[in-house]
Amino acid sequence: MNRVVVTGLGVVAPNGIGIKDFTQALKKGLSGIRHQEQLQQLQFSCQIAGQPQITADLKSQYFTELELRAFNSTGILYGVIAGIEAWENAGLHGEVTEEPDYDSGTIFGAGTSGIDKFRESIYKIDDLQTRRLGSTVVAQTMNSGISAYLGGKLGLGNQVTTNSSACATGTEAILMAYDRIRSGKAKRILAGSTSDSGPYIWAGFDALRVCNSKSNDDPEQGSRPMSATASGFVPGSGAGALVIEELQSALQRGATIYAEILGGQVNSGGQRGTGSMTAPNSIAVQRCITDALKNSGIEASAVDAINGHLTATSKDSLEIENWTKALNRHHDDFPYINSLKSMTGHCLSAAGSIESVATVLQIHHGFLFGNTNCTDLNPEIASLIHPSKIPLQTTNINLNIIAKASFGFGDVNACLIFKKYDEVK
């Protein structure tokens, strides 16, 4: 069974486009959440969101003029930019050759693809003209559009596919890539996930009343994971990408090794017990974490930090409780924990991959980013873990092992264990 490492990183996040800017944003606690005039005009309850700022010049670096002429899929846009950055960051290049690279593939997740493109196309016709939707609609609205675009632009000849598991999508994609490489079926997989932007994605959550409607005049304070004044999540979007590679291949190439993936687990609570379409089955969550540790060959005591799901809803205290039970660690003995969503909002199907990029950056650069809006810790959480385990500002610290977990609608769970690379396992 091959050891599996991370050799490339790419990101399109609300608070940073590209690894350099994103890293600085993490260290400085910079928010990417802004007031959205369109949401105000549409009379959304929540009128703030985390949306990446993409310029026309940046688009032209990744898509041809012909592609852009009929292009209107933010999810594919974000995914292609993040994916190609990760590929190049790994020292790989997508040169055009006659033969595809059969050792390399992509597992790149998505929630809903090209909803704005589909809406645009339908808006232009009536039902009697459905056949005139146009030929560019298919590639942009099929769920596998993101992996298809990346596969073509990079000439990937191994598995090219898209997974979809709500908010657990990105974390699941990385674990799927890990499994494929560990079993020897590929040398490297570009793994990640993406999420569309805009009201047609966010409207359903606004209707569910799970978004924050109290911070429209103060966007940067809106996303408050673990806070006593948390009042719902702030929607976000973007993409995260990691090149997951077999260790021997990485060493032969002389690649930078950002971290090692020890293992992980995905499962479902089956919407039984406390689980439902929108709520987690706590027993399944705890089992996902304990099985991830077991599959990684480590004890709970080895975990230095947790990058949680933690969405700034009423479920935050339940998530902390599940971690304490799964790890059997409480109060001062609990690992450090943080949530990227305080700076980006909840990036939905892209959340797991963007947060995994942040997790790897913390291991590689030796820091722990702060929970910027958690100055008033939820008392239920304070009764479970010591406040010192929830840093408010960036701390320089040597982290060896970080657990990253994501939980999604449908009662689905995913947990990954990242470790600082060491030649001797």
Q: Is the pLDDT of residue 131 over 70?
A: yes
- The CA-to-CA distance between both ends of the chain, in Å, stands at 13
Same domain, 179 and 275: no
The residue with greater pLDDT, 350 or 138, is 350
Supply the pLDDT for residue 425. Answer: 64
Supply the pLDDT for residue 71. Answer: 87
- The whole-model pTM stands at 0.96
Question: Which ranges constitute the DSSP H helices of 17-123?
Answer: 19-28, 37-41, 56-60, 65-69, 74-89, 115-123
394 neighbors 343 (Cβ within 8 angstroms): no
Q: Distance between CA 329 and CA 421 in Å, rounded? A: 25
Same domain, 223 and 324: no
Same domain, 282 and 216: no
Supply the pLDDT for residue 286. Answer: 98
Supply the pLDDT for residue 125. Answer: 76
Q: Is the pLDDT of residue 102 over 90?
A: yes
- Mean pLDDT of the region 289-310: 98
Same domain, 236 and 275: no
Same domain, 193 and 314: no
Give residue 32's pLDDT band: very low, low, confident or very high (50, 70, 90): very high
Q: Is the pLDDT of residue 401 over 70?
A: yes
Supply the pLDDT for residue 116. Answer: 86
Same domain, 97 and 73: yes
Mean pLDDT over each residue of the chain, to the nearest integer: 95
- Mean pLDDT of the region 102-124: 89
Supply the pLDDT for residue 159. Answer: 98
Same domain, 241 and 371: no
172 neighbors 266 (Cβ within 8 angstroms): yes
% of the chain beyond a pLDDT of 90: 89
Say how many domains are in the chain. 2
**Of the ranges 42-51, 62-71, 302-311, 351-360, which one carries the lowest mean pLDDT score?**
62-71
Domain assignment present for residue 234? The answer is yes
- Mean pLDDT of the region 237-245: 98
% of the chain beyond a pLDDT of 70: 99
Same domain, 279 and 143: no
Q: Which of 253, 285, 317 is the last residue of a domain?
A: 253
Supply the pLDDT for residue 70. Answer: 84
Range of the domain at 181: 4-253
Q: Is the pLDDT of residue 149 over 90?
A: yes
Q: Which H or E run includes 8?
A: strand 4-13
Same domain, 401 and 336: yes
pLDDT per position as a tens digit, 156-185: 999 999 999 999 999 999 999 999 999 999
Distances (CA, A) of 112 to 99, 106, 117, 236: 31, 18, 11, 14
Q: Distance between CA 143 and CA 150 in Å, rounded? A: 13
Supply the pLDDT for residue 121. Answer: 81
Supply the pLDDT for residue 123. Answer: 79
Q: Distance between CA 64 and CA 61 in Å, rounded? A: 8
- Mean pLDDT of the region 220-235: 97
Domain assignment present for residue 65? The answer is yes
Supply the pLDDT for residue 94. Answer: 64
Give residue 132's pLDDT band: very low, low, confident or very high (50, 70, 90): confident
The residue with tokens 């809406």 is: 119
**At 272, which CATH number?**
3.40.47.10
pLDDT per position as a tens digit, 344-397: 999 999 999 999 999 999 999 999 999 999 999 999 999 999 999 999 999 999
Residue type (1 letter), 26? L
Question: Which ranges constitute the DSSP H helices of 245-369?
Answer: 247-253, 282-296, 316-327, 341-344, 351-365
